[in-house]
């Protein structure tokens, strides 16, 4: 029979290992999970919001966006899920609804090439005088430059994979966050399907809708030549 001291030491080591493992799990959760409020927006705010979700190449590798869309619809938030090649016509559709007063909050989400197309869609909406409340890109696959802004742009990418951080052009208005999720177990094909990522996307969307209670001035190109600061976004190569 071992002395009591040896038993106590072994128990202490096991406890320390458990604490270390719990700490590692918490660090991974912080890298992915949002800290924003989890409350759902009101029905009125949800009804005047539209979320556009852009799939990537071949329209078959971004089906996690369909799941996100279904969860948002269950909250009463209107969504459109489409392939990234439709970004220009979707921008026209969103601008018409916004100017007609049917929409107050426009949110964009894209995966892979769908994420690469987001800056182009934002630029077109801005040129049409329409603000974008939030844009979330999931592992954009080409070097992406944001020339005109959403109020907030979140680029969630895998730093040791095919994804790229989004670069901000000089004079960019709006907040840009690049979030590297390497080491969390997600891959390029699975990032849109990952439960923690989906929860973060939905929580960020809900928080943006709740912030939209305050009026947002339309983004319009300056008309006076002396103060023109508009920048045209280069087309994304997909």
- Please answer whether residues 181 and 152 qualify as being in contact, where contact means their C-beta atoms are separated by less than 8 angstroms: no
Residue pair 193/228 in contact by the 8 Å Cβ criterion: no
Q: Is residue 132 part of a domain?
A: yes
pLDDT value at residue 136: 98
**Three-class DSSP category at 227:** helix
Series of mean pLDDT values for 10-residue runs along the chain (238 residues) = 49 49 41 49 90 93 96 97 97 98 97 94 95 96 81 94 86 89 94 97 96 57 40 36
pLDDT value at residue 223: 44
Contact call for residues 81 and 198 (beta carbons, < 8 A): no
The answer to whether position 99 is within a domain reads yes
Please state, in angstroms and rounded to a whole number, the distance separating the CA atoms of residues 140 and 195: 19
Q: Tell whether 23 is covered by a domain.
A: no
As given in the structure block, the two tokens for residue 112 are: 């892979």
Q: What is the pLDDT of residue 200?
A: 97
Task: Decide if 94 is inside a domain.
Answer: yes
Report the CATH number at residue 212: 3.40.50.1820
Is residue 238 situated within a structural domain? no
The number of distinct structural domains making up the chain is 1
**Is residue 15 a part of any domain in this protein?**
no
pLDDT for 34: 43
| Cα torsion angle, 22, 24, 26, 29, sign | negative
**62 contacts 192 by C-beta, under 8 angstroms:** yes
Domain span at 164: 37-218
Q: What are the start-end ranges of the E strands in 127-182?
A: 134-138, 144-146, 152-157, 166-168, 175-180
In a domain, 232, yes or no: no
65 domain residue, yes or no: yes
pLDDT of residue 70: 98
């Amino acid at each position: 029979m071992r002395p009591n001291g040896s038993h106590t030491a072994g128990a202490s080591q096991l406890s320390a290992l458990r604490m270390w493992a719990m700490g590692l799990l918490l660090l991974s959760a912080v890298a992915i999970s949002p800290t924003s409020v989890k409350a759902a927006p009101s029905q009125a705010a949800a009804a005047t919001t539209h979320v556009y979700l852009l799939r990537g190449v071949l329209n078959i590798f971004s089906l996690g966006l369909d799941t996100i869309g279904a969860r948002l619809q269950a909250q009463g938030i209107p969504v459109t899920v489409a392939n990234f090649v439709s970004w220009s016509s979707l921008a026209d559709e969103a601008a018409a609804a916004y100017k007609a007063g049917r929409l107050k909050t426009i949110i964009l989400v894209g995966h892979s090439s769908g994420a690469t197309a987001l800056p182009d869609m934002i630029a077109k909406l801005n040129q049409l005088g329409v603000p974008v409340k939030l844009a979330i890109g999931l592992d954009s696959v080409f070097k992406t430059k944001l020339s005109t802004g959403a109020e907030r742009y979140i680029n969630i990418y895998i730093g040791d994979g095919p994804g790229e951080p989004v670069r901000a052009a000089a004079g960019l208005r709006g907040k840009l966050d690049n979030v590297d999720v390497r080491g969390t177990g997600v891959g390029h094909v699975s990032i849109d399907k990952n439960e923690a990522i989906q929860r973060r996307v939905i929580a960020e969307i809900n928080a943006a809708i709740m912030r939209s209670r305050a009026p947002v001035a339309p983004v319009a190109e300056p008309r006076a030549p002396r103060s023109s600061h508009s920048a045209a976004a280069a087309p994304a190569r997909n």
